[in-house]
């Protein structure tokens, strides 16, 4: 994983030198040639939260501690440090913030020996009147104290001092002055990370390990901290082995640590998608145009440009082109996918997958095939849901609480989408069936195609497998549980035709028990159906009686006394597909001018 991240960093020419890092900056303080403040420029734009500067000064947390009280970064920092911007206009900066501001301006004065323009800017930041003017403009632009700020000079070349290379050597020298001293007296049997060589986990070279790993940004929406999270952390002795100290337990050179950090930060910002409680970052050996990015097809919107099924159509076209030998450029282009979240300042790696591009396309197409399901009105196949829609179908409402409940499920679904032989997590089906039983009580709710497609995929992927489970109604399905579900739909349609809308009908009263103990419930419902048949005219009664008898004949004496998770899923799909087939038949008969078949209107039940 680390090796693949380093390769990504090299290929995209990301900053990997220790002491430098890309940073997203929201505001630029524009100054004249003498450093006097002119205006606060908002660098954000449509669809952008600011401008990314590729090579900004960066100090690690240990370096900042060694820098002393108030130690800050150089040239780019938060608005509260640079301009003493507070959360409220009347708030006074405390002593710690004043110390940070003083340290920041002191760095500007020191660096003025190599970049003279910084002296005037430092003088501006020390002038209370100009500092007040800066704060006023930032507040007028609704800047936040945590927004990053840098500087711009009118007529300067380059326009932003942070883009100049003149300060680089000075900065390297400054960082060397913050180097840690070797530990004088290690404990017996203890090794230090200073002066000892170890095998780098990322490159395999013998290196001096970095004492602490750098922080990864961009995981705040999945449990991470705003200050960043560490991929490898060894604060407690229980996490250490063989007397090693801190990051020597996971030896990585400073250059390699900077490289993987730059790659992860770039991927999280540009190539990541949120599931529920985790974030997936993915990339390919060679960058792809958006229309060929198969991984993104799993997350894209359900409808694109007003059309349904664009993603799955493109996936199938891509596979056909590869099989026809038309896309040789994709054959040697493996993919990498990493699932992450944050917890207590640490990066949690939930999953890591990699493999050939061709295999990925085949598996994604297989995923779409497994999810394929008939529309609730029987008019054709429904559009295929993306992963976020599948997760949302498992809960009543997708919020922070339910996102955390789905944390154990989402990684399993993601892995199943990329690995065709991977079964779907049973917990997902438990939630899907529970939602079905709740929703079926409300006849006003429509069926959820995401949920029904997920149930179908679960059956196809389960260890026993179900090759007979098709997108549409299969009257020849071999499992009695499927026909028990069909029978439930037929009995509900018969009741509606005989009695109309009775509120709590057969489905609302008996679905939950029939789907778990069909032998106990269906026989009683069949006997009750005779009273409903007596209320219909003779021809219609015979039609209902005939199809119920045909379905019962397929079950014979094999009515299951109880149904496990797989059996309840089969029951649910038989119920759903029978309703879809009845609705389609009713509509076709109505269009042909024939008497409609008796599909019940209240079968717009939820699922």
Q: What is the pLDDT of residues 495-540, one digit of tens each?
A: 988 888 777 788 889 999 999 999 999 988 988 888 889 888 988 9
Whether residue 326 is contained in a domain is answered as: no
At 580, the pLDDT band (50, 70, 90 cuts) reads very high
Answer yes or no: do 140 and 215 share one domain.
no
| 28-48 CB burial, b ≥16 within 10 A, e <16 | bbbbeeebebeebebbeeeee
pLDDT for the residue 110: 95
Say how far apart CA 32 and CA 21 lie, in whole Å: 27
At 589, the pLDDT band (50, 70, 90 cuts) reads confident
355 contacts: CB under 8 Å, gap ≥ 6 = 334, 335, 418
Q: What is the pLDDT of residues 474-500, one digit of tens each?
A: 999 999 999 999 999 999 999 988 888
Whether residue 15 is contained in a domain is answered as: yes
Helix (H), strand (E) at residue 28: strand 27-31
Answer yes or no: do 125 and 11 share one domain.
yes
Flag whether pLDDT at 35 surpasses 60. yes
Out of 268, 294, 329, a domain closes at 268
Flag whether pLDDT at 190 surpasses 50. no
At 57, the pLDDT band (50, 70, 90 cuts) reads very high
Answer yes or no: do 538 and 599 share one domain.
yes
Helix (H), strand (E) at residue 150: strand 148-153
Whether residue 337 is contained in a domain is answered as: no
Residues 2-17 have a mean pLDDT of 87
Max mean pLDDT among 102-106, 206-210, 411-415 falls in 102-106
Q: What is the pLDDT of residues 316-358, one digit of tens each?
A: 888 898 888 888 888 889 999 999 999 988 999 999 999 999 9
At 100, the pLDDT band (50, 70, 90 cuts) reads very high
At 593, the pLDDT band (50, 70, 90 cuts) reads low
Answer yes or no: do 45 and 86 share one domain.
yes
Whether residue 102 is contained in a domain is answered as: yes
Helix (H), strand (E) at residue 51: strand 51-57
Flag whether pLDDT at 291 surpasses 60. yes
When the pLDDT of each residue in the chain is averaged and rounded to a whole number, the result is: 86
Q: Identify any residues that bridge with 249 across adjacent strands, giving them in sequence order.
A: none
Flag whether pLDDT at 188 surpasses 50. no
C-alpha distances in Å from residue 104, one per residue of 37, 121, 167, 172, 202: 17, 11, 15, 17, 34
Answer yes or no: do 148 and 6 share one domain.
yes
Whether residue 349 is contained in a domain is answered as: no
Whether residue 30 is contained in a domain is answered as: yes
Flag whether pLDDT at 388 surpasses 90. no
Answer yes or no: do 167 and 227 share one domain.
no
pLDDT for the residue 301: 52
Q: What is the pLDDT of residues 421-432, one digit of tens each?
A: 788 998 999 999
Q: What is the pLDDT of residues 260-289, one digit of tens each?
A: 999 999 999 889 998 888 999 999 999 888
Q: Of all residues in the chain, what percent carry a pLDDT higher than 90?
A: 45
Answer yes or no: do 159 and 79 share one domain.
yes
The number of distinct structural domains making up the chain is 3
Residues 300-312 have a mean pLDDT of 57
Q: Where are the beta strands (DSSP E) in 166-311?
A: 198-199, 206-207, 215-216, 229-230, 272-274, 279-284, 303-304, 307-308
Answer yes or no: do 550 and 487 share one domain.
yes
Say how far apart CA 488 and CA 497 lie, in whole Å: 14
Query: Minimal CA–CA distance to 600: which of 494, 458, 484?
Result: 494
Answer yes or no: do 152 and 35 share one domain.
yes
Whether residue 410 is contained in a domain is answered as: no
pLDDT for the residue 152: 94
Residues 47-71 have a mean pLDDT of 87
Answer yes or no: do 140 and 224 share one domain.
no
pLDDT for the residue 596: 47
Residue 386, judged by CB atoms within 10 A of its CB (0-12, 13-18, 19+), counts as: buried
Answer yes or no: do 138 and 210 share one domain.
no
Residues 429-451 have a mean pLDDT of 83
Out of 238, 268, 298, a domain closes at 268
Distance of CA 69 to the CA centre of its chain: 39
At 156, the pLDDT band (50, 70, 90 cuts) reads confident
pLDDT for the residue 239: 72
pLDDT for the residue 42: 94
Out of 268, 287, 321, a domain closes at 268
Contact between residue 336 and residue 294 where contact means Cβ atoms under 8 Å apart: no
Other Cβ atoms less than 10 A from the Cβ of 351: the count is 16
pLDDT for the residue 459: 93
Q: What is the DSSP letter of 292?
A: G
Whether residue 386 is contained in a domain is answered as: no
Answer yes or no: do 18 and 110 share one domain.
yes
At 595, the pLDDT band (50, 70, 90 cuts) reads low
Give the structural domain span for 235: 198-268
Which region among 180-184, 185-189, 579-583 has the lowest average model confidence (pLDDT)? 185-189
Flag whether pLDDT at 606 surpasses 60. no
Say how far apart CA 452 and CA 607 lie, in whole Å: 7
């Amino acid at each position: 994983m680390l090796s693949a991240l380093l390769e990504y960093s090299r290929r995209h020419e990301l900053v990997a030198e220790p002491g430098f890092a890309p940073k997203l900056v929201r505001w630029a303080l524009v100054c004249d040639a003498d450093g006097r403040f002119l205006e606060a420029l908002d660098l954000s734009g449509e669809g952008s939260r600011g401008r990314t500067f590729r090579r900004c000064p960066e100090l690690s947390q240990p370096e900042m501690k060694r820098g002393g009280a108030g130690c800050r970064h150089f040239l780019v920092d938060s608005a509260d440090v640079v301009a003493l911007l507070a959360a409220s206009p009347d708030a006074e900066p405390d002593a710690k913030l004043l110390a940070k501001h003083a340290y920041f301006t002191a760095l500007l004065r020191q660096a003025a020996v190599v970049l003279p323009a910084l002296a005037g800017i430092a003088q501006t930041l020390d002038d209370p009147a100009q500092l007040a003017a800066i704060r006023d403009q930032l507040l007028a632009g609704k800047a936040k104290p945590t927004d990053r700020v840098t500087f711009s000079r009118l007529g300067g070349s380059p326009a932003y001092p942070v883009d100049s290379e003149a300060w680089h050597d000075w900065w390297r020298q400054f960082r060397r002055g913050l180097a840690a001293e070797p530990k004088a007296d290690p404990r017996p049997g203890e090794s230090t990370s200073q002066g000892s060589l170890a095998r780098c986990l990322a490159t395999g070279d013998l290196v001096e390990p970095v004492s602490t790993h750098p922080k990864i940004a961009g995981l705040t929406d999945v449990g991470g901290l705003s200050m960043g999270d560490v991929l490898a952390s060894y604060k407690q002795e229980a996490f250490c082995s063989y007397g090693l100290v801190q990051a020597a337990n996971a030896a990585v050179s400073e250059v390699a640590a900077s490289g993987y950090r730059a790659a992860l930060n770039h991927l999280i910002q540009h190539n990541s998608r949120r599931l529920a409680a985790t974030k997936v970052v993915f990339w390919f050996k060679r960058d792809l145009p958006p229309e060929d990015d198969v991984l993104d097809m799993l997350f894209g919107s359900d409808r694109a440009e007003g059309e349904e099924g664009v993603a799955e159509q493109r996936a199938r076209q891509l596979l056909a082109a590869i099989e026809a030998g038309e896309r040789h450029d994709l054959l040697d282009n493996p993919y990498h996918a990493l699932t992450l979240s944050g917890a207590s300042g640490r990066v949690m790696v939930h999953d890591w997958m990699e493999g050939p591009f061709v295999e990925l396309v085949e598996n994604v197409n297989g995923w779409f095939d497994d999810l394929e399901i008939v529309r609730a009105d029987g008019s054709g196949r429904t559009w295929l849901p993306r992963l976020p829609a599948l997760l949302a179908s498992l809960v009543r409402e997708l919020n922070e609480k339910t996102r955390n409940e789905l944390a154990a499920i989402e990684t399993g679904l993601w892995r199943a989408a990329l690995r065709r032989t991977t079964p779907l997590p049973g917990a997902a089906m438990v939630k899907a069936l529970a939602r079905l039983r709740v929703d079926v009580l409300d006849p006003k709710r429509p069926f959820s195609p995401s949920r029904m497609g997920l149930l179908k995929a679960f059956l196809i992927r389960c260890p026993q497998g179900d090759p007979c489970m098709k997108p549409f109604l299969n009257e020849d399905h071999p499992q009695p549980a499927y026909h028990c579900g069909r029978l439930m739909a037929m009995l509900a349609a018969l009741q509606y035709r005989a009695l109309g809308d009775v509120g709590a009908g057969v489905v609302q009263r008996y679905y939950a028990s029939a789907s778990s103990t069909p032998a106990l419930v269906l026989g009683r419902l069949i006997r009750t159906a005779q009273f409903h048949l007596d209320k219909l005219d003779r021809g219609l009664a015979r039609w209902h009686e005939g199809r119920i008898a045909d379905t019962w004949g397929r079950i014979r004496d094999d009515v299951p006394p109880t149904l496990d998770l797989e059996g309840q899923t089969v029951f649910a799909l038989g119920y759903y597909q029978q309703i879809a087939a009845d609705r389609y038949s009713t509509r076709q008969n109505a269009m042909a001018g024939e008497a409609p078949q008796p599909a019940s209107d209240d079968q717009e039940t939820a699922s």
